[in-house]
Structure 1
């Protein structure tokens, strides 16, 4: 190191791979010049240097696709701006299918791309042969072609970003190791290095596979783990043209890229080999791993089947290097939930190069504005849960994560590794009843129940899967009789103290100044009026509230509360998720069943809708809350965990004469979509307001003290609403809807499906999705328009409604 480290910086970035350099570059673009990037060895020496160089764009959501498209556009212009070559070349890409289910997935992706304003063409076998003459297409059904995809050199691109950052005023130091990140309370104050200390206003951790350990030293949870990742470079490939597109053969887990006259073949094998369980040695720098040819050989044989010319080609390079992967195959970016000036960008799942531009841009904007510039929940670090930093869990899970990049993305596909992390106390009893559990945020949740003689396991398809009719029977039981749901995975918080009411009323859009025993459905909003959480608040006593939210957002929602709690408030928060099991009893016969078990009066007069009481069940006292997420009469029972088995056993015994049925989360989903109930993470997000989502009834503008987001909502109320959440029902009962299908209004795409499921009561696939029009969207607009939804390239007529198509007056709920 020739120049001296500064004593102070606005931002210190830890890690000099393509992600760190992109963030430094983009921070200078927003005018932040006091930026310091520290690299322990040399730029790109960890994993960036051996990236294969693919720059694809189509992702599984709108905002992730936008980030990838921006990355591609940036790389096109970066060389002109900096004078440093990036090696970027627009080659296009072809993805092929060798079975009908994969072809269905690709065609659905092509439909989805229309929503994202991307050209993705469905291509025939003959067209694939014309574009890529080397390919053996004897088993190929077809594919998709993306003309704007490309390739780049990862090392050159990183150097270009670094040069651009330096030109903007950033300082980059190599061979400087960060030995400690300094934390003081809820903030970081800087870093200590082997060359001295730097005070900083922000610290950004972009240290690749080292990030988990560095972050853990300051109590920030970044679950990731390295795996061996392979590719082979063939030379003397007869007939290889330098102009061929990137080729992805998902069914063989392989991809092919022309590379300086040679052919690079890489793979994402179904069962990967985790690496670095005992740490990464100090001198690791541009290192290769020994690799295992026997492990990779089956993929080599598949590659030779796909491109027969490889049989006579030479192998120039057999490469194995480490890449970090995450438990859900989504990367980690954003502001740490528990340290306000700590940002993270790591765990790129082998797509760092093709993600770097977009990540750099949004992280820089996030830091500048103290909020994400778009809905980034799917990659937000706040989704992570404490158990996920467990090393055994990560080791076992990432062996599957790597292969999921190329595996068929089946609807409802469940993880197979690192299962059984979190279990309801009645888990074994539910298994005995035929439960087929899925994995959600570590919880084992019953998704459906197999009747006697049927195996409780998934058979995946894009059509009706093997559980379809069994879930339909559960759905019917809820609508017509009574069913039991295990909902232990709810996140549950206690907010207690004499300031609990005033604190929650500032956070909640609805009014929680209610009598003890009342339950309030509400949203938490950001300053723009966007929905940050969707939940219920139950007043247990004057100074005691129970907040119930989704298990998926447990970390996010708890820290939303904590980070908004005034320092001088006489109020404290406790996460009591593990302390209470939740069993829901839902259906027209719910009252009769539960009344047969308790001396408490459950009549509508004594126990009206949206109230909560402590009742006797079995040998326990249980908090019974009359609320529903399925659109029927019912109660959620909050049971001290140690009493859950007894209460369950008593319910089962009492339920026999009533024909009680066990129901799973697939039925819960079909029921709630029929009723038009919103789900945070799909139908409502931080870019959607209650006005747009049809949740204005849960907003109390005139309550004392106001609430976060009130001004933004009042402003929106005074203008024309250009976006509305609408419920759709396909007229054809055969197609299945899942998410991201384009919605056509009078022949033009005006939105896309946020969530979809088959509505067994309504008799067809049901969906929720926003319709947007600059001229305004209201009931008259929806009632007079003609709607179609596209599934795998085919449009189907759809009925549309702003009101729930099932029980719009809520008569069944309030009886």
Structure 2
């Protein structure tokens, strides 16, 4: 088939992901869609995928997409006549330790909240469903009856046939050699058969996606790893239609098919592949066997399923699959290039994810915005440095194995660390900091007390589902902030400057609050989409008449910059730039913050001179800085912004003052526990582009009646007005467990009068309030139900299968009148 000269959309890659996108674009009515495959459909990774289909994923929307995939594969057979081989034989995951069983119980509780059928099963129940399995060390497990397995190649062919039926052109044997662009927008592709101009280009290149992205100047952080499985000869007497079995404590999964057994592995230390590029002729290829690498998995598997001991091995397979730095796939419009979309890096869950991911990306392209909260997999969460080959090789050696590792709360990656550091990093390290990593930043999560350092104790995590080794240390930090004074290093804050004579007018359109304020004022606000849902949660400080500083979480700076740039009119005299690394941020918080800081700063910190919600230039030590009186912990305090070159001096000045007035160094865990007591929202957990700003309880920060700027009215204003008029469908509530012992993390089911009505969006321990705290949305029982009516019900939280009574509130349980911040 000859290539066309133009297409509305060109999809690069003919695996299951690319074919799903093609199918869904065609289903939406898109014409002139072309899929280009350099060799043959499925020839990269799809053809050798194990084909496991599971519904439950780590978050609600990932679960929604997986469930959608499953239903799609059912329907495709009837629609296209191509059998997908999908069967619902269920799945069992077995726990060999109490900690793993706690994880499975929490997963089961989460599944119930997400509407996924799941049952906790005892060891005897395991063998009833999986005859011949050894129960050595088995503590229990979970059974998901609607999971199953399918044929990856046939699924892809069915999607391809469905796409062709919608008019999509699928052309094999054509390789893309360049990505064309102009004025920040993709304009087409160059192929070995000639150019194709295009309005949209989708990179669904699988293992090749990083290199395809590089052609476009787009960072696509993924790397191939060797992935091993064996297929036995037919095993006499093997029970047919066995469930898919996962034994994560032994790094193994099992799939019965036609009387044979497939045994696969997610070993802790994997083998990256293709550092020097993937061979040009790679097509339906496998990699050399490495029996020594696989042997430990096989030895344990023979003990777990003794029938394997006498089974012949028909196939020892080693095939490459692509993995990302955080084990989550990459989806969405690249922030570097308009209309260039990416769907890649599926971390061995491509088959079960493809249907939903293809649907979501097609709708994203069609409407210009994600159809649901996809922040888990949004490409904008990735930092450009993460496409570095050396970084990826090191990191993916760990991430493959993390798929089956214990998913403990607060678990930190161990590889490819210390890439991004605050200027005061080394000083925090000496002070006993235990660092975590976010977006490459090393951030102090908690501090080891000096008494422990003196004993030679090393600040390191000891993971558990119970109270971890740092729990009491973080509690001390929390209490210091509530009762005295503490300091956080928040240099990783994302910082975006908008500069130009039209900066105010641009922000009046983008921001929900009114930013037409005097220089020195700080405005808390959200960016909304047209539905009134939240795209960003930020503070905006007016530095001067034509300069504003937007402060956002470290993980969302690229997302927010992309949103801003996408909404600056071409005629506007304004630019937005990322200035994150130019300044450190030292945050001093607590009722004694003023007493602590005032001797260091000649400018008055008194309420009358330095009001809450304002910024001033200050002198501190021998340096200069800006002090922002704002808080994320609910206490009196200041965020001190100081240029990177003076950061250590200012830090040392503050710590010298601590010799006269004690100061507690605090980590991010304490920051989070303080903010959740104050019911402050966290973007990506409590608020997202699926959450209406009024239902999130943030209507106070929205001024939808403010005058329109020269570039139009506020985005989302009509949706806010409509919601205020029509009433809320749900409300975000704060919960405190009445039993002080259980811990909350997030995704625990909320029960109202015994019925599941939602799940917690975030959770932590409230050391001041004396119990675990959670936030979560509760739907109105009937249209127009009042907040008072919602509060009158009996609420419980499902903590690993145990129903725990909870107090509820719409106002913050800590300092509901916000008196502490205005001391």
Shorter-chain TM-score: what band?
A: over 0.9
Moved more, 187-196 or 663-672: 187-196
Any conservation in 2 of the 1:91–1:148 contact (CA below 8 Å)?
yes
Distance in 2, matches of 1:615 and 1:159, equals 65
Show the counterpart of 2:117: 119
Secondary structure, counterpart of 1:750 in structure 2 = strand
Show the counterpart of 2:401: 403
Show the counterpart of 1:517: 520
Show the counterpart of 1:622: 625
Show the counterpart of 1:17: 15
Counting only pairs closer than 5 Å after superposition, residues 185-196 of structure 1 correspond to structure 2 as 185-196=183-194
The Cα shift of 1:777 comes to: 4.5
Any conservation in 1 of the 2:744–2:764 contact (CA below 8 Å)?
yes
The Cα shift of 1:511 comes to: 0.7
User: Is 1:808 paired with 2:808?
Assistant: no
User: Is 1:492 paired with 2:499?
Assistant: no
Moved more, 632-641 or 300-309: 300-309
Aligned equivalent of 2:555, options 533, 539, 552: 552
Counting only pairs closer than 5 Å after superposition, residues 75-474 of structure 1 correspond to structure 2 as 75-451=73-449, 452-453=451-452, 454-474=457-477
Show the counterpart of 2:685: 682
Runs of 4+ in 1 over 3 A off after TM superposition: none
- Alignment deviations for residues 319-347 of structure 1 (CA, whole Å, 9 cap, x no partner): 10100000111001111223221111100
Secondary structure, counterpart of 2:671 in structure 1 = helix
Show the counterpart of 2:761: 754
Distance in 1, matches of 2:32 and 2:191, equals 18
Distance in 2, matches of 1:308 and 1:317, equals 19
Any conservation in 2 of the 1:33–1:170 contact (CA below 8 Å)?
yes
Distance in 1, matches of 2:415 and 2:172, equals 38
Counting only pairs closer than 5 Å after superposition, residues 655-666 of structure 1 correspond to structure 2 as 655-666=658-669
How many residue pairs were aligned? Answer: 813
Any conservation in 2 of the 1:70–1:357 contact (CA below 8 Å)?
yes
Moved more, 492-501 or 325-334: 492-501
Secondary structure, counterpart of 2:360 in structure 1 = helix
Any conservation in 2 of the 1:589–1:658 contact (CA below 8 Å)?
no
Aligned equivalent of 1:563, options 561, 566, 572: 566
User: Is 1:716 paired with 2:723?
Assistant: yes
The Cα shift of 1:238 comes to: 4.2
Distance in 1, matches of 2:370 and 2:759, equals 22
The Cα shift of 1:684 comes to: 0.7
Any conservation in 2 of the 1:723–1:777 contact (CA below 8 Å)?
no
Secondary structure, counterpart of 2:401 in structure 1 = helix
- Alignment deviations for residues 700-742 of structure 1 (CA, whole Å, 9 cap, x no partner): 1221113111111101111121111100000000110000001
Distance in 2, matches of 1:689 and 1:89, equals 38
Show the counterpart of 2:752: 745
Any conservation in 1 of the 2:530–2:715 contact (CA below 8 Å)?
yes
Distance in 2, matches of 1:378 and 1:722, equals 25
Query: Which ranges in structure 2 are unaligned for 5 or more consecutive residues?
Result: none
Any conservation in 2 of the 1:701–1:710 contact (CA below 8 Å)?
yes
Show the counterpart of 1:799: 807
**Superposed CA RMSD:** 1.0
Counting only pairs closer than 5 Å after superposition, residues 606-621 of structure 1 correspond to structure 2 as 606-621=609-624
Secondary structure, counterpart of 2:357 in structure 1 = helix
Distance in 1, matches of 2:790 and 2:586, equals 38
The Cα shift of 1:574 comes to: 2.1
Query: Which ranges in structure 1 are unaligned for 5 or more consecutive residues?
Result: none
User: Is 1:540 paired with 2:543?
Assistant: yes
Distance in 2, matches of 1:544 and 1:363, equals 35
Any conservation in 2 of the 1:107–1:793 contact (CA below 8 Å)?
yes
User: Is 1:730 paired with 2:733?
Assistant: no
The Cα shift of 1:202 comes to: 1.2
The Cα shift of 1:62 comes to: 0.9
Question: TM-score of the superposition, structure 1-length normalised?
Answer: 0.99
Question: TM-score of the superposition, structure 2-length normalised?
Answer: 0.98
The Cα shift of 1:215 comes to: 1.0
The Cα shift of 1:455 comes to: 2.4
Any conservation in 2 of the 1:234–1:314 contact (CA below 8 Å)?
yes
